[in-house]
């Protein structure tokens, strides 16, 4: 049974995890609370179409349900959920890349200003940015998406990707450099 928004809003994330372990209905609160951001994240990281993203999310939530007792409140529930969804999405992404499946656009006009500002490339179109991010190695694309498109902190990215915060900073800096180089190369050889 799906609990109403009104009931769900009475509980914190940690309380919902505890309640879900004994009463499955409360699991619907977690699902509803994070469904949209997680779906959006899956699409950004895999560039999969909506139906595929929903399937990935469902597989991820099966894992979340099975492992609900392993969650510990010393990290944010959202980080833990993103971690599981991320792993599921990446494994899909690797499979689909081998198959050479289609992709959706990664960026919308609304969410690129921060990234463009940081890259000092305000004139780049979203299409160019999209292509450049798409061509990056997984490890660089992941941190860029989490930082600029999901607006996660370094600590949250560290919890999601299970890497030290220092590594997050290094990867982010390298990812930005790679993007800048890619833009410069294109300007020199249009």
Partner 1 sequence: MTNYQKLEERLRNEGMKPIPKWIFSLRQTFVWALFLGSVVTGAIGFSIILYAVQQADFSLLSHITHSPMEKILALIPLVWLAGVIVFLALAITAYRHTWKAYKFSPLYIFFISVLLSMATGTLFFISGGARQLDKVFDATLSVYEGIEEKKSQMWYNPDKGLLYGDIMSAESKNLVLKDKNGVEWQISIQDAFAAPILTLEPGEKIKIIGKRTGDHTFDASELRPWGGHHGKAGRDNR
Binding partner 1 (rule: CB under 8 A), the pick from 167, 169, 174, 180 is: 167
Q: Does 90 bind partner 1 (CB under 8 A)?
A: no
Q: Nearest approach, Cβ of 59 to partner 1 (angstroms)?
A: 10
- How many beta carbons lie within 10 A of that of residue 171, not counting itself? 21
Q: Nearest approach, Cβ of 54 to partner 1 (angstroms)?
A: 6
Binding partner 1 (rule: CB under 8 A), the pick from 54, 76, 90, 111 is: 54
Beta carbons of 12 and 26 less than 8 angstroms apart: no
The CA-based angle 7-79-103, given to 5 degrees, is 100
Binding partner 1 (rule: CB under 8 A), the pick from 46, 78, 158, 182 is: 158
**Is the Cβ of residue 133 or residue 143 nearer to partner 1 in the bound state?**
143
Q: Is 152 left (phi over 0), alpha (psi -120 to 50) or beta?
A: beta
**Is the Cβ of residue 107 or residue 160 nearer to partner 1 in the bound state?**
160
CA 160/CA 58 separation, integer angstroms: 18
CA 23/CA 16 separation, integer angstroms: 10
**Is the Cβ of residue 54 or residue 118 nearer to partner 1 in the bound state?**
54
- How many beta carbons lie within 10 A of that of residue 102, not counting itself? 9
Task: Give the footprint of partner 1 on this chain (CB under 8 A).
Answer: 1-2, 21, 24, 27-28, 31-32, 35, 54, 57-58, 61-62, 65-70, 72, 74-75, 158, 162-167
């Amino acid at each position: 049974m799906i609990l109403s928004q009104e009931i769900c809003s009475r509980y914190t994330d940690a309380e919902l995890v505890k309640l879900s372990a004994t009463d499955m209905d409360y699991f619907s609160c977690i699902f509803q609370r994070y469904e949209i951001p997680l779906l959006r994240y899956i699409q950004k990281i895999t560039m999969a179409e909506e139906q595929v993203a929903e399937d990935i999310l469902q597989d991820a939530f099966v894992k979340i349900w099975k492992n609900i007792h392993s969650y510990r409140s010393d990290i944010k529930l959202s980080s833990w959920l993103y971690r599981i969804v991320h792993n599921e999405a990446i494994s899909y992404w690797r499979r689909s890349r081998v198959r050479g499946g289609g992709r959706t656009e990664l960026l919308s006009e609304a969410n690129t200003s921060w990234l463009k500002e940081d890259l000092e490339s305000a004139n780049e179109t979203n299409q160019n940015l999209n292509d450049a991010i798409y061509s990056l190695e997984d490890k660089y694309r992941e941190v860029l998406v989490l930082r600029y498109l999901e607006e996660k902190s370094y600590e949250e990215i560290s919890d999601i990707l299970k890497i030290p915060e220092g590594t997050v900073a290094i990867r982010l800096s390298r990812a930005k450099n790679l993007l800048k180089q890619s833009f410069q190369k294109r300007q020199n050889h249009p």
